[in-house]
Amino acid sequence: MSDRTESESRKLLGRLRDTMAEEAAGQARLDKITHLTADSMGTEVCSIYLFRDEDTLELCATEGLKSEAVHQTRMRLGEGLVGRVARSGKIVNAADAPSARGFRYMPETGEEIYSSFLGVPIQRLGEKLGVLVVQSKQAREFTADEVYALEVVAMVLAEMAELGAFVGEGAALKARHTQPVLIRGTQGQEGAAEGHVWLHEPRVVVTNLVADDPEKEMERLHKAVESLRVSVDGILANASDPEQVQVLEAYRMFANSKGWLKRMEEDIERGLSAESAVEKEQSNARARMSQVTDAYLRERLQDLDDLSNRLLRILTGQGAETGADLPANPVLVARNIGPGELLEYGRSLKGVVLEEGSVGSHAAIVARALAIPLVIHAGRITTEALNGDHIMVDGDQGLVHLRPDDSVVSAFRDKMAMQAEALERYASIRETPCVSACGARIGLHMNAGLMADLPSLSNSGAEGVGLFRTELQFLVRNQMPRRMELAALYARVLDAAGGRQVIFRTLDIGSDKVLPYMKPNDEPNPALGWRAIRVGLDKPGVLRMQLQALLRAANGRSLTVMFPFVAQLDEFRAARAEMDKAIAREERLGHVLPERIEVGTMLETPSLAYAPDGFFREVDFVSIGGNDLKQFFFAADRENERVRRRYDTLNTSFLTFIERIVQRCEAAGTPLSFCGEDAGRPIEALCLAAIGLRSLSMRAPSIGPVKHLLLRSNLDEVRKVILDARDSDAQSVRPAVMEYLRGAG
């Protein structure tokens, strides 16, 4: 097509549009498109391969290959040149196809007489739908113009598939968004939920794919881009903090990018509508995003993707507010979401499913606070789901059942019924003190971070709040909260606790928790970087303000505060000195001081376990931060799915290490607790209690299951099982403990 004009390209798109408008079955449309494309490009062959399942492509239409191969020829992802295009999402342009890397001969198609091969992916916004191929007998490499033309046809095919233009018999021609889908993600928050999809960002639907009047479309595009630029400039003019300005400057850079605009203009010149041109560039950005490993480049491509969404909404008039009401039992589906946005939905949600996110993300913290199931890394969910779709979320296994069939619904509801029955059982022991069968008293406390958590304090049977995360109030707003605002909030927390102990952890920011108004540090390993108490001691203004707010909130009541991520004795002494200064200042101002103040620390680094004896004598209490301590002990990033499940909490070396901390605290007479996800897992909690821990802090829903097991367990017997397993050189005590429990009934 190198000598063909852009008007001929528009002519092909016009013929495709006419084909789409005709009343015809899906197969007939596909057949006509292959004929039109081969004819327009002057090739002997044009073929369309579509996915019949996640891993298999099927030949669904062809011009030039044997007709009997249609719906019979199939190949796995990565198999042959077609499979190579599908896997990589990249174009393959080969003058001598049989000698190209990955070539596989398909004898039933009759393709042995064709030398040249051009394959482009059929994809929409990063979702791979199939492969479009042209072939010819002449051994030649296709020109850039021909490649572009086939890309445009593939893009139109993707849009037509989204609009249901190719529905027919067989798995590859099934209607989109109608079939049951199982998506395997990652556990973000335990629990099970059934409901209906609510898309955080409803998908923009482009219906006018091609246009006859390029000048009119060009004018529409330029007006929309100008409107976009004005809106970004307006937001930027009102932004005050440097971090917001930095993000918006990146937005403005893209909005004013001549290259971005030029590519869309070229798409329009070749016959696409303004909307299609924007979406084509957006799809390309998403395809590149999936292949980029550099975090900075991914972030920039994310900016471009978000900007394209804004531009599409301007062009189509399809705003984020669709006017639709939340469905019954809404399950939020999004690519990602900030903590403030999630809090706005609040407890109306039954569950949350995210394509991205992490176990330590702000959204995950809020989901835990709201006690709603969360699944993260649920690939394709935003492109598969439609508003109102029936959805079942298994946060325990990290599974999402979208439009489930009857057998899945039945099994899932049985599981939810069993969980409900268990909750009733746990409710009956809510007021029962947690005393093991051997007479050991274990204190069970809950973790919290929001006022929304605190109704669970009485309902769960928790004896108090073993960890109140104060950073959430900083994360969900766009500017630093004021001292009086914090004092009022902390006072409400103490009021809601009704005299039960609340342990306030001072601001734990850095690593995966970056304040929106705080400039992030470019650190190669932020989990081991400038975070938590390190920030507080280097920038003491915020720490002092928070300590003053806590002292005022107590208003004469007892106050318990702990510092996060202390790694050595001098850090605790420096932090304790800041508390002493805050107390002295409040006394000078004539404010009422707490009747009793306890100051402790979280033990999250192995170094603190080996601190001098003076540390354990000086600190009022120690709380083991199990999540961080475990990742540093095993050198396994808890955000890395490849390694975070590799190491068992009940590994004998880790339990021996924890036992050493128990012994040091006992020798100094220092109260010790264990706080983290493992404290809320019954088997892990049992083993922690057996090695001497007498206080555990966990999410509220875990208290019932943990108490139920502890009440009927003999810790002395479990301890003997642990010691015997360790003496036998077992890597983990889990198998031995599980066998003991099965025998004990």
pLDDT tens-place string over residues 500-520: 999 999 988 765 555 554 555
**Residue positions counted in the chain:** 745
Do 197 and 220 share a structural domain?
Answer: no
What is the CA 582 to chain-centroid distance, rounded?
39
For residue 570, being part of any structural domain is answered with: yes
The single-letter code of the amino acid at 127 is: E
Provide DSSP, 603-634.
E-SHHHHT--HHHHHH-S-EEEEHHHHHHHHH
Specify the 3-state DSSP secondary structure of 168: coil
How many CB atoms neighbour CB 458 within 10 A? 14
Which residues make Cβ contacts (< 8 Å) with residue 267, sequence separation at least 6? 152, 276, 277, 280, 281
Of residues 674 and 54, more confidence is placed in 674
Do 583 and 638 share a structural domain?
Answer: yes
Q: How confident is the model at residue 270 (pLDDT cuts 50, 70, 90)?
A: confident
For residue 3, being part of any structural domain is answered with: no
C-alpha to C-alpha distance for 217 and 10, rounded to whole angstroms = 13
Do 493 and 401 share a structural domain?
Answer: no
C-alpha to C-alpha distance for 97 and 358, rounded to whole angstroms = 43
For residue 173, being part of any structural domain is answered with: no
**Residue 250 phi, psi dihedral angles, 5° rounding:** -65, -40
Highest mean pLDDT among 305-319, 363-377, 550-564: 550-564
Query: What tokens were used for 594?
Result: 């707490």
Q: N- to C-terminal Cα distance for the chain? A: 76
The model's pLDDT over 402-442, given as tens digits with 9 standing for 90+, comes to 998 888 888 888 878 877 777 778 888 888 999 999 999 99
Do 449 and 386 share a structural domain?
Answer: no
Q: Residue 100: give its domain's CATH number.
A: 3.30.450.40
Task: Indicate whether 487 pLDDT > 70.
Answer: yes
C-alpha to C-alpha distance for 510 and 473, rounded to whole angstroms = 15
For the chain, what percent of residues have pLDDT higher than 90? 39
Q: How confident is the model at residue 546 (pLDDT cuts 50, 70, 90)?
A: very high
Q: How confident is the model at residue 653 (pLDDT cuts 50, 70, 90)?
A: very high
Among the ranges given (10-19, 118-127, 142-151, 214-223), the one the predictor scored with the smallest mean pLDDT = 10-19
Do 458 and 310 share a structural domain?
Answer: no
Residue 575 pLDDT: 96
Do 735 and 604 share a structural domain?
Answer: yes
Residue 478 pLDDT: 60
Q: Which of 373, 392, 418 is the last residue of a domain?
A: 418
Residue 452 pLDDT: 62
Domain span at 706: 430-744
Do 697 and 609 share a structural domain?
Answer: yes
Query: What tokens were used for 432?
Result: 């029962």
Residue 294 pLDDT: 58
Do 442 and 300 share a structural domain?
Answer: no
Name the nearest CA neighbour of 4 among 42, 38, 35, 37.
Answer: 42
Residue 283 pLDDT: 77
Do 252 and 104 share a structural domain?
Answer: no
Q: Residue 406: give its domain's CATH number.
A: 3.50.30.10
For residue 31, being part of any structural domain is answered with: yes
For residue 170, being part of any structural domain is answered with: no
Task: Indicate whether 699 pLDDT > 70.
Answer: yes
Work out whether the CA dihedral 345, 349, 351, 355 comes out positive or negative.
negative
C-alpha to C-alpha distance for 532 and 524, rounded to whole angstroms = 17
For residue 207, being part of any structural domain is answered with: no
Highest mean pLDDT among 64-73, 388-397, 598-607, 637-646: 598-607
Do 332 and 311 share a structural domain?
Answer: no
Q: Residue 657: give its domain's CATH number.
A: 3.20.20.60
Overall domain count for the chain: 4
**Helix axes 734-744 and 715-727, enclosed angle (nearest 10):** 140
C-alpha to C-alpha distance for 442 and 674, rounded to whole angstroms = 11
Do 240 and 339 share a structural domain?
Answer: no
Half-sphere exposure of 7 (CA within 13 A, CB side): 0
The model's pLDDT over 92-136, given as tens digits with 9 standing for 90+, comes to 999 998 888 888 888 888 888 899 999 999 987 767 889 999 999
Looking at residues 325-342, what average pLDDT do you find? Answer: 81
Contact call for residues 703 and 460 (beta carbons, < 8 A): yes
Q: Which of 359, 392, 418 is the last residue of a domain?
A: 418
Residue 516 pLDDT: 53
Query: What tokens were used for 690?
Result: 């057996």
For residue 198, being part of any structural domain is answered with: yes
Contact call for residues 445 and 464 (beta carbons, < 8 A): yes
Residue 1 pLDDT: 42
DSSP character for 378?
-
Residue 2 pLDDT: 40
C-alpha to C-alpha distance for 742 and 745, rounded to whole angstroms = 5
Do 643 and 504 share a structural domain?
Answer: yes
Active site (catalytic) residues: 362, 675
Among the ranges given (115-124, 306-315, 590-599, 620-629), the one the predictor scored with the smallest mean pLDDT = 306-315
Looking at residues 467-471, what average pLDDT do you find? Answer: 89
Provide DSSP, 179-225.
S-EEEE-EEEE--EEEEEEEESSPPPPP---B-S-HHHHHHHHHHHH
Q: How confident is the model at residue 445 (pLDDT cuts 50, 70, 90)?
A: very high
Task: Indicate whether 322 pLDDT > 60.
Answer: no
Looking at residues 717-738, what average pLDDT do you find? Answer: 95
Residue 598 pLDDT: 97
For residue 406, being part of any structural domain is answered with: yes
Looking at residues 243-247, what average pLDDT do you find? Answer: 57
Of residues 162 and 485, more confidence is placed in 485
Q: Residue 282: give its domain's CATH number.
A: 1.10.274.10
Q: Which of 357, 391, 418 is the last residue of a domain?
A: 418
**Helix axes 682-690 and 703-711, enclosed angle (nearest 10):** 50
The model's pTM is 0.66
